[in-house]
Structure 1
């Protein structure tokens, strides 16, 4: 296990719209950052592919590495929050996100339109498109401001749930990247389920916090989403409570772990 499941603090709602809040100890957080989260944040797999391709130019590995931005750029705290969310869904919700959005950036630190996490969830023998929206907040109120408003988590989840154009655009995004990849069969299976019914997807809303757990973060959001739920659309909101005031240290910690240090 590369990232702990955490201690469950509260559970809300019922299938197909539900929520859960759980807390992390300092040790659990550090272990996650030092392992899988680090690799996700810096796209270690993608960097290795780039190095192998550029090695064909005849330049040395050192010359190539110093020209790769992720080796020298410190990530934003919210970017690390997205990495934690991705690792958690991969480890504990049978999800797979094959194409990091950092590979589509035209400017370092930019936040691309569309869902933060785009991939698949395996349930039994079936595979479904899975989309995740992630918010990271240290705000000392419940819920934090990132949950509400037009750019808030609830609004983004509702768009994924109700907007067929958004869902088709995300399917096309994966379609253009899957050909010849090891996950092409995942896409075909998920596409079959989606084309039968456009509501047949999985949606995750993940809130990264560093304040004491409180179900007020998710309770109203779960209730509102449940009012217009579709049986085919599975929605889960997750609140991950990190140790107090730890979000501001996420960037520095993951950078130190990447450079071989111990925090």
Structure 2
């Protein structure tokens, strides 16, 4: 860990990945998330059973392949995997399943799902920013569309929160995560502020707590005890961000970087 800031319910921490740690992540869980391997496989299997066509025929007809992703989308995959493993989060419906144009980004939070805390489940939302800018904090953190503003919107805007809940509500019935949705919905209906919000900044610069320090202080000025917010800053090796897409694509194609 590089640094730790704030106190409950507004906290922050900075940490680093070595080259080996980054490559291990990209070759495994991050690759699966970026290319939605689970979703693609399930779709092909379901269509094969329901239509009688072979899996190879379906892949060919639907032109199912794996396009080279944008570096920022790989960044989102890194954040999702970290939160899933280290914060017991589950994000069941990747937004790229709803793309109508390849490479587009849907409005709303980057990550929408749940955090499991003991026997309780809460809705969890994540905003992810990826930046190589040699500035502390980088522009993706500040400004109207910066990380802090997006976190504040998730905390304060009731319409935003309702929209994100409905995003999952239209999809949860009959899914493996149905019980998680029901528990999270019960907690939310009892107290609309009872959510978990994560801001995730990915950098390939030297660690510096200025990246999130002021954001932690600002968020703490208008905090709600029921709304837990954590800002995370992950520092990758120098000049790594521009290579994220190429690396994960090579791993997907069976290569070794």
| Residue aligned with 1:167, SS | helix
Displacement after TM superposition at 1:232 (Å):
0.3
Per the alignment, residue 231 of structure 2 pairs with 237
Q: Map Cα deviations across residues 177-229 of structure 1 (whole Å, 9 max, x no partner).
A: 10011111101100111011111000000001111100000000000000000
**Residue 44 of structure 2 is aligned to residue 29 of structure 1:** no
Q: Select 2:158's aligned residue among 157, 160, 164.
A: 164
CA contact (8 A) 1:127 1:190 kept: yes
Unmatched segments (≥5 aa) in structure 1: 1-7
Map of 1:1-263 to 2, 5 A cutoff? 8-56=1-49, 57-66=51-60, 71-263=65-257
Q: In structure 2, do the counterparts of structure 1 residues 208 and 66 end up closer, same or farther at CA, with 3 Å as the change threshold? A: farther
Give the Cα–Cα distance (whole angstroms) in 2 for the partners of residues 250 and 73 of structure 1.
14
TM (norm. structure 2) is: 0.97
Q: How many residue pairs were aligned?
A: 256
| Residue aligned with 1:134, SS | strand
Aligned alpha-carbon RMSD (Å): 1.2
Displacement after TM superposition at 1:126 (Å):
0.5
Q: In structure 2, do the counterparts of structure 1 residues 191 and 151 end up closer, same or farther at CA, with 3 Å as the change threshold? A: same
Q: In structure 2, do the counterparts of structure 1 residues 262 and 222 end up closer, same or farther at CA, with 3 Å as the change threshold? A: same
Q: In structure 2, do the counterparts of structure 1 residues 201 and 61 end up closer, same or farther at CA, with 3 Å as the change threshold? A: same
Per the alignment, residue 4 of structure 1 pairs with none
Displacement after TM superposition at 1:50 (Å):
1.7
Q: Map Cα deviations across residues 6-43 of structure 1 (whole Å, 9 max, x no partner).
A: xx000000000010000000000000000000000000
